[in-house]
Amino acid sequence: MTTNSPLLRVTGLHKSFGCDAVLKGIDLDVAPGDRIAILGASGSGKSTLLRCLNFMEQPTAGRVELGGRAIGAERKRRDGSTEIVYPEAELTQVRQRVGMVFQQFNLFPHMTALANVMEGLRTVRGMPRDEAETRAMEQLRRVGLAEKAQHYPSRLSGGQKQRVAIARALAMEPELLLFDEPTSALDPELVGEVLGVIRALAQEGRTMLLVTHEIGFAYHYANRVLFIADGVIHEAGTPDEVLKHPKQARTQAFLASHNEFTF
């Protein structure tokens, strides 16, 4: 946290699906270099929060600022109230700056690992093929998968697929990386290889938000921890404050149900 201005600022963020209010007022500043672990029970709103931050889901209310600039524009409704509209061209630019790694990898099955990493560079950035291939190979090498470049996802383990997905996100050179439970779909013996890549990225000083159930990893990886319950940030602080000495009963109960982790 080397500057006074946050890289990302979230103010009063709400998200509803019909009558179901999932996020009920999230306020969050993310400074450059922050490594934030987000914990909470299933259905608490963790994944929805990340999806709103790179606008895979559009917020129902509230504002998101990236690099000091508000995303979207206010527009007057006929009744005199205001709404925020999000032009797709602007959201395309935001998604280049805010990378996302999903639970289920989301690789194209008909493309090799190399082609999956190249795809955004070619279709979104319009990068020449040779340049895109060079950058994609650099990122596959970075996650330890250069030798799998010509393999299709069906020939990769779950851990390897997730590392390809991380390489794909890194290839776009994002300012902020979002990880949505990146190890939840993996067999236990494959979790470590993915967490190792995330740890290396943290050591580089990258700005990252990680939704995870790997609480022991969160303790060592994060400089801040958020516990989300019922669509709000129920408790926030350092790993010691939230994970070792939680003040809120909901946080204490959640951690008691995940007592397999060690510090």
pLDDT of res. 77: 81
Indicate the range of 34-43, 185-194, 218-227 predicted with least confidence.
185-194
pLDDT of res. 188: 87
**47 neighbors 39 (Cβ within 8 angstroms):** no
Residue 131 has pLDDT above 60, yes or no: yes
**162 neighbors 212 (Cβ within 8 angstroms):** no
What is the Cα–Cα distance from 165 to 119, expressed in whole angstroms? 12
The CATH class for the domain spanning 8-107+176-256 reads alpha beta
What is the Cα–Cα distance from 120 to 176, expressed in whole angstroms? 16
Helix ranges (DSSP H) in 179-262? 188-203, 215-221, 239, 249-256
Q: How many CA atoms lie within 13 A of 58 on its CB side?
A: 12
- Give 242-259 pLDDT, tens digit per residue: 999 999 999 999 999 876
**141 neighbors 167 (Cβ within 8 angstroms):** no
Residue 4, SS3 per DSSP: coil
pLDDT of res. 1: 41
- Cα-Cα-Cα-Cα torsion 193, 195, 201, 203, nearest 10 degrees, comes to -110
**17 neighbors 58 (Cβ within 8 angstroms):** no
- Average pLDDT score over residue span 80-109: 92
- Give 51-88 pLDDT, tens digit per residue: 999 999 999 999 999 999 999 998 888 887 888 999 99
Residue 2 has pLDDT above 70, yes or no: no
- Give 137-172 pLDDT, tens digit per residue: 999 999 999 999 999 999 999 999 999 999 999 999
Burial class (CB in 10 A: 0-12, 13-18, 19+), 89: exposed
Indicate the range of 74-83, 98-107, 190-199 predicted with least confidence.
74-83
The letter for the amino acid at 17 is F
Residue 27 has pLDDT above 50, yes or no: yes
In the block, which residue shows the tokens 């996100």? Answer: 169
In the block, which residue shows the tokens 């194209």? Answer: 108
pTM of the model: 0.92
In the block, which residue shows the tokens 């990068």? Answer: 127
In sequence order, the 6+-apart residues with CB closer than 8 A to the CB of 70 are 63, 64
Q: In this structure, what token pair is assigned to residue 119? A: 């795809």
Tell me which residue of 139, 142, 210, 224 sits closest to 180, measured CA to CA: 210
What is the Cα–Cα distance from 4 to 237, expressed in whole angstroms? 18
Angle between helices 158-171 and 188-203 (to 10 degrees): 20
Residue 29 has pLDDT above 80, yes or no: yes
Residue 260 has pLDDT above 70, yes or no: no
